[in-house]
Amino acid sequence: MFRIESVKAHCDVPCGIYDPIVAQIAALSVIRMVDLMSALEKNDSLSYINTISRHIAVKEEEAEKVKHEIRIIWGDFIKAPQIEQYPEIHALVHKIMTLGSANRQDVSRDKAMELLNAVNDFAEIFWKIKGVNTKKIKSNYLPNEEIIVPA
């Protein structure tokens, strides 16, 4: 009907809407859940069990969200020219994947901070690829840790 012979596209979504902020917020959420769990007074009440279960579920969901968001940017946005410019990107993405899994398996603020720091490293590279200067800011919500954002 339209006689279209060929169609080409280079990504799944319109250019320019990729942003690592979702992964950064998810990493902050992992830290927040660890902090909330650490602050709970341990006991055998159903209320405690319910609360800790909910925190664990959110922590695991957010750690998986980090992995998902980074995979999307890495797989759909990062291309050969960016890999040539930032050859460390593959190892960094692998590190984020393993830290995401580690944060699902354990409750460790140190591991959660490692995840955030790796995601921030990824965000810095991402914004450099886009030609955008960055700065570090404290997040506006607990746990108030630093994130990399456009300047």
In a domain, 12, yes or no: no
Q: Which residues pair with 135 in a beta bridge?
A: 149
In a domain, 5, yes or no: no
Angle at 137 between CA 132 and CA 140, to 5 degrees: 125
93-149 pLDDT, tens digit per residue, is: 999 999 999 999 999 999 999 999 999 999 999 999 999 999 999 999 999 999 999
In a domain, 123, yes or no: yes
What span, in angstroms and rounded, lies between the C-alpha atoms of 142 and 28?
Answer: 8
In a domain, 8, yes or no: no
pTM above 0.75, yes or no: yes
Q: Which residues pair with 148 in a beta bridge?
A: 136
- What is the number of domains present in the chain? 1
Whether the CB-CB separation of 66 and 96 falls below 8 Å is answered with: yes
In a domain, 137, yes or no: yes
In a domain, 125, yes or no: yes
In a domain, 10, yes or no: no
Which residue range is the domain that position 51 belongs to? 21-150
3-29 pLDDT, tens digit per residue, is: 777 655 555 555 568 999 999 999 999
Mean pLDDT in residue range 62-81? 96
User: Which residue bears the tokens 């995840």?
Assistant: 115
Q: What CA–CA distances, in Å, run from 145 to 9, 16, 52, 103?
A: 38, 26, 23, 17
Nearest to 103 by CA among 20, 31, 35, 25: 31
In the chain, the amino acid numbered 5 is: E
In a domain, 39, yes or no: yes
- Residue 9's pLDDT is 52
Give percent of the chain above pLDDT 70: 91
22-71 pLDDT, tens digit per residue, is: 999 999 999 999 999 999 999 999 999 999 999 999 999 999 999 999 99
* CATH number, domain with residue 110: 1.20.120.400
